[in-house]
Amino acid sequence: MILSKVTVTNINKNEDAEFIENLAKENKCRTKRYYQEKYNDYVRYDYEPFDTTNFTVTLELTGEDKKLDFIKYLFDRRITEIKHLQQCMNIA
């Protein structure tokens, strides 16, 4: 079993961060969430700030290589499905 660490940055929505965290829990991977300010890389919080408009979510995932690849595949698939549904809504 080979453990790796992956960092997912610039997540603008808490929904996406929660989706990735739930996938990581299901696949027995560890997660750590940070809130990083958009305009200053040095400002980084371990807790959710009161006003999250100027912050992006950064997740660190630690787990097996295959499981991390599977999480990436599922998240990429979710993004493509959302884009496809938005195109369908624009056509109608």
pLDDT at 1: 65
10-34: b or e for each residue (b if 16 or more CB lie within 10 Å)? ebeeeebbebbbebbeebebebebb
35-64: pLDDT as tens digits: 888 888 788 888 888 887 888 888 999 999
Q: How confident is the model at residue 74 (pLDDT cuts 50, 70, 90)?
A: very high
pLDDT at 10 over 80: no
Length reported for the chain: 92
16-32: pLDDT as tens digits: 888 899 999 999 999 99
Cβ-proximal residues to 35 (8 Å cutoff; 6+ apart), any chain: 44, 45, 46, 47, 48, 49, 52, 55, 56, 57, 58
Q: How confident is the model at residue 92 (pLDDT cuts 50, 70, 90)?
A: low
Q: Tell me which of 3.90.1200, 3.30.1370, 1.10.10, 3.40.50 is the CATH number of domain 3-91.
A: 3.30.1370
pTM, 2 dp: 0.79
Pairing assessment for the beta strands 3-11 and 44-45 based on DSSP bridges: unpaired
